[in-house]
Chain A
Amino acid sequence: MADIALTPPRRPFVARYPSVIIFIGLLALFTIGVTVLSEGFGIGVISTSFVKTLGKTLCLCLVALAMDLVWGYCGILSLGHMAFFGIGGYAIGMWLMYARTEIIVRDSLAAAPLPPTPQEISDGIAGQIFGVVGASEFPPIWAVAHSLPLQLAAVVLVPGLIALVFGWLAFRSRVTGVYLSILTQAMTLALALYLFQNDSGLRGNNGLSGLQNLPGLGHVPQSTLSVIFLWASALALGLGYLLCAWVVSGKFGSVIRAIRDDEARVRFLGYSVEAYKLFIFTFTAILAGIAGALYYPQAGIINPAELAPIASIYLAVWVAIGGRGRLYGAVIGAAFVSLLSTWFTGGQAPDINLGVYTVQWVDWWTILLGLSFVAVTLFAPRGIGGLFDLISDRRSPDRHGADLGPGTGALQEKEAEK
């Protein structure tokens, strides 16, 4: 069988991973289809708000991809990635709000008899933005809000740095498994609570609003912008998918899956498990930040509730329902569950009249979601993605009941030592 080993090692990456081609193709088809059917560029079958929903869904798919990488592949059940997503949104939202308010303030001051001084403009913007929290000066955190390149850098750097510092602390002290999950949840809670304060400098629970209006593009209708954002989101998702697939395809992917299954063993192979975890945690945090930066201009508003721990839990729910440990599973889960959520909670789903009681989906959807999540965990750990295995005949080894994950991996080793 030596011939197998001697097959040319450098087959093209996409040839080895046909699912990447299929995914990119489907994504392109989807984007073209929506464009053709949209109001902005096509025949107007799909409303602008639905185009926005689809664009947002693509961003959620991107953050789900990040979650799958960190959880499905590396075994770190992070309950903090929606916080990184929110931070990305805040970072871009600060510029959007600043730049747009600046235009408004300049316009209103242009009518004044004297040309405005820089101080007057700055005071005007600060008054407009922070009036709701009773402040009239820019907090230090807004120091670079005037600059798009710097805020774009913040989209990447802030989540990345937070993840780097937090991850370094957590991994260094070998916090793993559920402990790590709880710690990430605590981090998320701390961030959300911090942002809820009025003196956080980010408008407390008012959050940032009016993000759908791009500064300088006031004349472009939302119907056009929505499609452009859809393209941007699709592009980001496509590139993100390629990048993730590249990361997990090679030896690096092999190492992180090994870490997921038995991190102690990987350590004895000479790999610094902490460095790998930190790399993946930070990388996915950045990915989440980028997804958030694309999501919130489409949503129009961001507030601290978006960062609450429950959001990150839902992210885990999407990935679990879609099927973790495979990239397309995360995308399917995020798209399927979030669209279904929109449908149910948007009041479009028909109520079910049981005679004595009418089931209103707005109220009951969350219960259904919670219970189906339990059911998926219990009966279909591979999620929706598992259905593809029936077609592709992909099998995973019989573990005799043993589960993936560092917790159980370590358990095997311990049993060995007894």
Chain B
Amino acid sequence: MLCFVRHVILCSVLCFSAAVPAVAQDIGAPIQTLLQTHGEVIKQSSRRTIGPAIDALAASGLDDAKTVLERWQNKEMWFEAETGVFVFAAAAEGGMLRLFDVAGGVEIGVTEKRPYKQLKPNSGIRGLISAALVQFQLNDPDPSERAKALTAIERDADASHLAALRGAIDGETVPELKAKKQRLERLLTIRFSDDDADRITAIQSFAGDLGVDVRAALNPLVATRLDVADTLPENAMPVEVGTEDLSRARAYALLVDKELAAAQTDPATLRDTLIANIDAGTVAGVQVASLDTDDARMAAYAALAAQGLAAPLVTEADVTAALEAFQFFEVFTGAPVSVAQAAQRALSDIETRVALNQTADLALDALSLASIYFLAAIGLAITFGVMGVINMAHGEFIMMGAYTGYVVQLFVPDYTLSILLAIPLAFAVTFSAGVAMERLVIRWLYHRPLETLLATFGVSIALQQLAKNIFGTQARPLTAPGWLDGSLIINDIVSISYIRIAIFVLALLFLALFLFVMKRTRLGLEVRAVTQNPRMAASMGINPDRINMLTFGFGSGIAGIAGVAIGLYAKVTSEMGTDYIVQSFMTVVVGGVGNIWGTLLGATLVGTLQKGIEWMNPSNTLAAQTYMILFIILFIQFRPRGIIALKGRAAEA
């Protein structure tokens, strides 16, 4: 009844005092009622008292509550001074206000400003409102909105989110989101909860979790501060001076900082003091010319100090004595001891897991490097391993393949198509180059391996310079198609880029191709016949010249395709061949010449080794390569014929 009366009054007021309102306002709407209930508090606009109002809005379950909170936060909520009715309002032309109903947001009309007052929530209130809003977002009917809200909290969490999050877990229907909320709730508990027992429970629940976010939440808890005192206080962890954790210099600097000791007299101060006290060629009675050793200078300084002309000399011995007189320790600063210790335990547990997973990641890395070496070496396994021809221009064939890919991309802008075109084209280009080289150079030098090596060096030098002349010295890009961007992420530590997977798959394909060609085709049969006994093969109607030419072309062509793959992974330069040639030969030799499985093992060994050494000394890939080569030189000592060695007469043929 009251409602009705107010409605009528309001109507009449509006009719008289304002310009034509388009629609009447629904004064009886539940949201308006709710606002009216807390009207006084809201109008008062005080950080101290506003809490219940916001909570009531948030807990009302009304559809409009969220909008109200948002607009309120944006200072778009007004109320009529007389009636206390809340409206939304926006500035209209001519200093007028455009009003909207808080229920449903329907436009009411344009009116003068005078009867209305704006709610101006201060920053404290706005903070409370946004915390309340989070709850709306977390409870939004649209799951994607909820996911967005979670992401926002993950990115920039705040103590106020905790309560909202706790409130939003039970109502969650999507299992993934629920799990995510629960996880986030525990993370926020760790960071913001006041209850230590809660925090410890939450910390313990994360034992062994690999998430970066967990470590980000835990690390601040175990932050420590270095301190020094005469005796060790309670709950402090003693630190040894002169260890990796605490150098003497740092420990002493702390003492000096705390004014527990005087700064050590460093050579520069010593020198400057002496210089300042030079008096007619002597310092403290000592001839300047004799001050050319540290001992003499120290003696002179000590003399000065004795005369009171300088600060007392603090020597290394003094430093040692001072360091021994004090206890150095660390105290937790990030959290109470019990929480910090729980965090420390959880972190060490996590670190073990992280190390395990890093090993797995390293293994993947090694595998992908091995595939690259295998790709680079497989052509060589044919020309060198099967035919026994040593081709030092092999690296340049790889380079030619990569440049072919680059040129194709200049003409075909679609990356997927261009790669698909580049692969057969690269094969064709390097196949022809290989055949040409075999015909022009190598066939004259069969059974003269050193000469072959030299002649192919000549070709390699020439090809490299030719590429430099054509393409310049700067690196050229070979862009992978979009679908190869990104990585397969297994967890926060283990991931592998799709391009590496592609190279791995390509390596497997090549292995299959090689096995197929050598074991299942006529060409393979004839190749094996020719390499084992050319005269016998010739007498059976096989043309060894043709077979040699085709085999060499095949090996070179594979190098070309490898070039495209390697170009995707690394940059295309005229010198890229030299980066791979030694490793490729090492791969073939280490694996055992003449055996493709050996090459596979060799590539795995070389790749694993390089990654392993890099892991031990991550700052220095050059050193890794150095040590790897040294290892291989030693390896060949013990297995001169490689991992898979052919024995007996076959090996010597």
A interface list, Cβ under 8 A from B: 75, 77, 113-120, 166, 169-170, 172-175, 177-179, 181-183, 185-187, 189-191, 193-194, 196-197, 199, 309-310, 313, 316-317, 320, 363-364, 366-367, 369-374, 377-378, 381, 403, 405, 407-408, 411, 414
**How far apart sit A377 and B458, CA to CA, in the bound complex (Å)?**
9
**How far apart sit A25 and B290, CA to CA, in the bound complex (Å)?**
57
Residues of B within 8 A of A179 (CB): 589, 636
What is the chain B residue whose CB lies nearest that of A168?
B637
Tell whether, in the assembled complex, residue A364 and residue B630 are in contact, meaning their CB atoms are under 8 Å apart. no
- Report 15 cross-chain contacts, Cβ distance below 8 Å, ordered by A residue: A115-B289, A117-B297, A118-B292, A169-B633, A169-B634, A175-B640, A177-B449, A178-B390, A178-B449, A178-B450, A189-B625, A190-B626, A197-B623, A369-B461, A378-B444
Tell whether, in the assembled complex, residue A405 and residue B448 are in contact, meaning their CB atoms are under 8 Å apart. yes
Known: A178-B390, A189-B582, A313-B461. A373 touches B455 (CB 8 A): yes
Residues of B within 8 A of A187 (CB): 629, 633
Residues of B within 8 A of A119 (CB): 267, 294
**How far apart sit A117 and B301, CA to CA, in the bound complex (Å)?**
15
Tell whether, in the assembled complex, residue A190 and residue B450 are in contact, meaning their CB atoms are under 8 Å apart. no
Measured CB to CB, the closest approach of chain A to B619, in angstroms, equals 9
Residues of B within 8 A of A377 (CB): 445, 451, 454-455, 458
**How far apart sit A186 and B451, CA to CA, in the bound complex (Å)?**
19
What is the chain B residue whose CB lies nearest that of A197?
B622
**How far apart sit A183 and B390, CA to CA, in the bound complex (Å)?**
13
Residue from A173, A310, A317, A405 within 8 A of B458 (CB atoms): A317
What is the chain B residue whose CB lies nearest that of A379?
B444
Residue from B293, B634, B652 within 8 A of A117 (CB atoms): B293
What count of chain B residues pass the 8 Å CB interface test? 59
Known: A117-B292, A367-B466, A414-B653. A190 touches B630 (CB 8 A): yes
**How far apart sit A363 and B463, CA to CA, in the bound complex (Å)?**
12
Tell whether, in the assembled complex, residue A193 and residue B622 are in contact, meaning their CB atoms are under 8 Å apart. yes
Tell whether, in the assembled complex, residue A113 and residue B455 are in contact, meaning their CB atoms are under 8 Å apart. no
* CB neighbors of A among B138-155 (8 A): none
In the complex, the 7 A-B pairs of residues with the closest C-beta atoms, listed nearest first: A370-B462, A373-B458, A370-B461, A366-B465, A115-B292, A190-B629, A374-B458
Measured CB to CB, the closest approach of chain A to B32, in angstroms, equals 71
Known: A193-B625, A367-B465. A373 touches B454 (CB 8 A): yes
Residues of A within 8 A of B629 (CB): 186-187, 189-190, 193
Tell whether, in the assembled complex, residue B462 and residue A367 are in contact, meaning their CB atoms are under 8 Å apart. yes
**How far apart sit A183 and B622, CA to CA, in the bound complex (Å)?**
18
- Which of B390, B444, B455, B638 gathers most chain A CB within 10 Å? B455
Residues of A within 8 A of B447 (CB): 403, 407-408, 411
Residues of B within 8 A of A190 (CB): 625-626, 629-630, 633
Residues of A within 8 A of B630 (CB): 190
For residue B169, CB closer than 8 A to chain A, the reply is no
Measured CB to CB, the closest approach of chain B to A395, in angstroms, equals 20
For residue B265, CB closer than 8 A to chain A, the reply is no
Tell whether, in the assembled complex, residue A182 and residue B585 are in contact, meaning their CB atoms are under 8 Å apart. yes
Residue from A118, A169, A196, A378 within 8 A of B455 (CB atoms): A378
Residue from A172, A313, A372 within 8 A of B637 (CB atoms): A172
What is the chain B residue whose CB lies nearest that of A190?
B629
For residue B288, CB closer than 8 A to chain A, the reply is yes
Q: Contacts A178-B450, A193-B623, A194-B622 given; 4 further ones with Cβ under 8 A?
A: A119-B294, A181-B450, A186-B629, A364-B465
Tell whether, in the assembled complex, residue B634 and residue A366 are in contact, meaning their CB atoms are under 8 Å apart. no
* CB neighbors of A among B316-333 (8 A): none
How would residues 219 to 259 of chain B score, 1 for a CB under 8 Å from any chain A CB and 0 otherwise?
00000000000000000000000000000000000000000
Measured CB to CB, the closest approach of chain A to B450, in angstroms, equals 5
Residues of A within 8 A of B626 (CB): 190-191, 193-194, 197
What is the chain A residue whose CB lies nearest that of B295?
A117
**How far apart sit A199 and B621, CA to CA, in the bound complex (Å)?**
12
Tell whether, in the assembled complex, residue B633 and residue A363 are in contact, meaning their CB atoms are under 8 Å apart. no
Which of B18-26, B94-102, B270-278, B406-414 is the contact stretch? B270-278
For residue B453, CB closer than 8 A to chain A, the reply is yes
Measured CB to CB, the closest approach of chain A to B97, in angstroms, equals 66
Residues of A within 8 A of B358 (CB): none
Residues of A within 8 A of B453 (CB): 77, 178, 181
Tell whether, in the assembled complex, residue B466 and residue A316 are in contact, meaning their CB atoms are under 8 Å apart. no
Measured CB to CB, the closest approach of chain A to B379, in angstroms, equals 16
Residues of A within 8 A of B582 (CB): 182, 185-186, 189, 309
Residue from A114, A194, A405 within 8 A of B450 (CB atoms): A405
Measured CB to CB, the closest approach of chain A to B362, in angstroms, equals 21
- Which of B459, B589, B629 gathers most chain A CB within 10 Å? B629
For residue B188, CB closer than 8 A to chain A, the reply is no
**How far apart sit A170 and B638, CA to CA, in the bound complex (Å)?**
10
What is the chain A residue whose CB lies nearest that of B448?
A403
Tell whether, in the assembled complex, residue B274 and residue A114 are in contact, meaning their CB atoms are under 8 Å apart. yes
Residues of A within 8 A of B640 (CB): 173-175
For residue B620, CB closer than 8 A to chain A, the reply is yes
**How far apart sit A364 and B625, CA to CA, in the bound complex (Å)?**
32
Tell whether, in the assembled complex, residue B465 and residue A363 are in contact, meaning their CB atoms are under 8 Å apart. yes
Tell whether, in the assembled complex, residue A370 and residue B633 are in contact, meaning their CB atoms are under 8 Å apart. no
How would residues 337 to 372 of chain B score, 1 for a CB under 8 Å from any chain A CB and 0 otherwise?
000000000000000000000000000000000000
Residue from A115, A317, A320, A374 within 8 A of B288 (CB atoms): A115
Measured CB to CB, the closest approach of chain B to A119, in angstroms, equals 6
Residues of B within 8 A of A363 (CB): 465, 468-469
For residue B457, CB closer than 8 A to chain A, the reply is yes
For residue B556, CB closer than 8 A to chain A, the reply is no
Residues of B within 8 A of A320 (CB): 454
Residues of A within 8 A of B390 (CB): 178
Residues of A within 8 A of B445 (CB): 377-378
Measured CB to CB, the closest approach of chain B to A115, in angstroms, equals 4
Tell whether, in the assembled complex, residue A186 and residue B586 are in contact, meaning their CB atoms are under 8 Å apart. yes
* CB neighbors of A among B612-646 (8 A): 620, 622-623, 625-626, 629-630, 632-634, 636-638, 640
Residues of B within 8 A of A316 (CB): 454, 457
Tell whether, in the assembled complex, residue A113 and residue B288 are in contact, meaning their CB atoms are under 8 Å apart. yes
Residues of A within 8 A of B288 (CB): 113-115
Tell whether, in the assembled complex, residue A114 and residue B297 are in contact, meaning their CB atoms are under 8 Å apart. yes
Residues of B within 8 A of A189 (CB): 582, 625, 629
For residue B441, CB closer than 8 A to chain A, the reply is yes
Residues of A within 8 A of B608 (CB): none
Residues of B within 8 A of A371 (CB): 458, 462
What is the chain A residue whose CB lies nearest that of B288?
A114
Known: A114-B297, A186-B586, A193-B626. A374 touches B455 (CB 8 A): yes
Measured CB to CB, the closest approach of chain A to B295, in angstroms, equals 9
Residues of B within 8 A of A408 (CB): 447-448
**How far apart sit A274 and B531, CA to CA, in the bound complex (Å)?**
30
